[in-house]
Each structure stands twice: as C-alpha cells, then as structure tokens.
Chain A
Amino acid sequence: MSIPFYDGGVAAGLLSGVLFGYALEAAGFGSPRKLTAQFSLRDFSVFKVMFTAVLVSAIGLYILRSMGMMAGNAVFIPTLFFWAILAGGLLIGAGFALGGYCPGTSVVGVASGRIDAVVFGVGMVLGTSAFAWVYEPLMGFYMAGQGPAAQTLPQLFGLPEWVVLLVLVILAAVGFRLGTMMERARGGPLTAEEVCAPDDEADDLTMTAATRQA
C-alpha cells in the first residue's frame, strides 16, 4: 500500500475540516476568553491541546514510515525562512492576544455564534490584503534566512527521530504538570458554563437599568 493518497478533492477537504472543527470546538476553542487565558496562565488548554496533537500526529507519521508504508519525503514539510517565519509568528501571537483568535479558531468562533469572530475575520482579510500590496518591497525580508529545504529537528540536531520524539514527550509531560499547577493557582481552567453563558451578567444588569429608565 502506498500512502499518502494525495487526494485533494471536495470530500477529503470536508472530512478533514469537520473533524478539525469538531475537535477544536470540543476543546473550547470557539471562546476567545478561553483561548487568551493561556497567556494569563489561567488556562493551559492551547498549549496542552496543541502539544498533544503535534505529538500524536508526529508519532503516527513516524510509525507509518518505520513500517515502510510511507516514504520519508512523502508529506509536505515547510522550509524555514527564519526572519519572515519568526516575525509572522510574533505578529500572529500579538494579534491572537489582542483579537482573541487565530485563523482556524476564528472559524470555530463564527460557527458557535461569536460576533467578534466575524469582525476578526474582516480584519484578517484587510491584513492579508495589506500584505499583498507591500509584498514587493518586503520581498528581501520575506526570503531572508532561508534554511535547508524541508529541514526537520532530527536533521538540525543530528539525532535519531525517536530521540527527538522522546524529548518532546518529556517536555510535554513537564509542561502539562506545570500548566495544571498554574491553572489551579489562578482559578482556571475556564469551563463551558463560564464562557458559553447566553449573555454576560454585566449585560443583564445594563439591560435591567435601561428598562427601568424607559
């Protein structure tokens, strides 16, 4: 058997998307308060979910390759362009902390009713357009610090893949424990009851006051 199937059709897209969206929503990632509570150390869900997903998938790919079912270069591996990717990561982290979402989670926000996620989407289209219009003068920066094509951590450190995976599993386990301790110290993590309430109490109070005045 030869995998991957390189099927880029409609059904393949819908299937991947439905699973992706369902898992993100179940994690609570339609809520910008839950997402951004990562950065006040009250809720480590972003770190925990991402790190777990990366490792499950990385170990799965490793097993498929070890069993000879998949070639080493069979899946797409992004190439490093150090400065642009670092700057892009910084901008996305900053925009996430301010705006409450990243691109994928904003789609989940829209699907679960968040009006702010729709506005965030409009902002993304504006930011993307701004990039396109300054792309030519930015080209030098965009291409700067290019690494070897499709370089991976095992190649960078000259270590066997299983050693890198083992180190990452240990780092994840330590991160989970520290994260849980910090969550408890700050009254987290945020629950569905807290972030999916029909409306905020503050709004109810404002509404009551407005009704009384009228």
Chain B
Amino acid sequence: MREAPKPFWSPLSAGIVLGLALLLTFVITGHGLGASGFVTRFAAQANEWVAPTATAENAYFGPFMKAGNPLMSWITWEVVGVLIGAFLGAKGAGRISVKVERGPSTSSGNRLVYALIGGALVGFGARLARGCTSGVGLSGGATLAVAGFVFLIGFFAAGFAVSFLMRRVWQ
C-alpha cells in the first residue's frame, strides 16, 4: 500500500494562483494561456504526415504548413510546461494514478469510447470557437472580452444539458 494522496488545494487558493499565473503570462507575452492551439498545430503536422499535398492545399491547415514547422511555436512550449508542472505537482503530492478513470457503472471500454467521442467534439468545437476553455473562456474572460463570456455561457449550458442526459456515464 502506498501513502494516501495529499488533499487538493481549496478552489479559492488554486484560483488565485491560476489567476496570478495568467496575469504573469499576459505581462510577459501580451496574451493569455491556451491549449487547443497546440492541438491544431499537432493536427496540421499529423495530417501532413498522412497526406502532405492535400494538407498543404487545405484552407485551414495550409497557412500553418506554409509558415514552416507548425509545432515551432510558443504554445508548444507552454503545453510541454503544463505536462512538466502537472507531473511535478502530482508526483510530489502522491496523486499520480495510472488508470482509466470512469464512473462506477461505466466499463473501461465504454469510457474510452466516450473519451474519444468527447475529444472529437471538443477538438471540432475549439476550432469553431477560435480557442478552448483556456484560450477563450479563461484568458478571454480575464480581458473581459464579450467573446469570452458568450463562450462560457455556451460551455456551461451544454455541459449541464449533456451531463443530465448522460448521467449514467459518471454517476
């Protein structure tokens, strides 16, 4: 048996630290934090591996490829940093947990199918919204952008609706 994991921070403490990290990012770079920008660049690169000509001609991925290696970007280093920071935090607090995390009445196989479908919806949605919960919701919200709050209203509304319809998945 290993030792019990250390408790999570209170939402207020975690929110204050996250807010200060976001403020520091604005001060250093002039923009906020993100995540889906990396997924876009990685997807452009992955499509290029599979279908180089079609990707270069694609209206959305083409400009990323024309600008050189799409992964050579600030957002790539930021996501690498997220991996490092989250790993160090989880390791130090005994919160690394290698498993398929799922609700008690969902099998591991079904959980992975839901993860794949959910991920696809999120990937598509993030391109429509021109960013994700971090880029538009959190960072946009912090600049008091109308776009950020429209995003957050949609995010929470659909989250509650789908969660209600699919409550078996997690409960």
Residues of A within 8 A of B (CB): 3-10, 12-28, 30-34, 36-40, 44-45, 47-58, 60-61, 64, 74-82, 84-117, 119-133, 135-136, 138-139, 142, 147, 150-156, 161, 164-165, 176, 191-193, 195-200, 202
Contact = CB atoms under 8 A, between A and B. Distances in A.
A107 B83 contact: yes
Contact of A104 (B99, B121, B134): B134
A94 B117 CA distance: 10
Given A23-B17, A98-B121, A116-B102, A58 B144 contact: yes
Contacts of B99: 113-115, 198-200
Nearest to A74: B30
List the 4 closest A-B pairs by CB distance, nearest first.
A99-B118, A17-B81, A123-B119, A88-B129
Nearest to A51: B15
B138 A54 contact: yes
Interface residues of B, number: 132
A55 B152 CA distance: 14
How would you classify the secondary structure of chain B's contact residues: helix, strand, loop or mixed? Answer: helix
A131 to B, nearest CB: 4
B121 A92 contact: yes
A123 to B, nearest CB: 2
Q: Do most interface residues of chain A lie in helix, strand or loop, or is the interface mixed?
A: helix
Nearest to A156: B146
A15 B21 CA distance: 9
B57 to A, nearest CB: 11
Given A20-B18, A94-B161, 5 more contacts: A26-B93, A45-B11, A103-B132, A119-B112, A121-B119
Contacts, number: 559
Interface of B: 2, 4-9, 11-36, 38-40, 42-44, 46-47, 58-61, 74-90, 93-104, 111-112, 114-164, 166-167, 169-171
B162 A44 contact: no
Contacts of A37: 170
Given A89-B158, A97-B159, A112-B97, A21 B27 contact: no
A160 B33 CA distance: 26
Contact of B43 (A48, A100, A129): A129
Nearest to B95: A196
A88 B120 contact: no
A94 B121 contact: yes
B142 A13 contact: no
Contact of A114 (B22, B97, B124, B150): B97
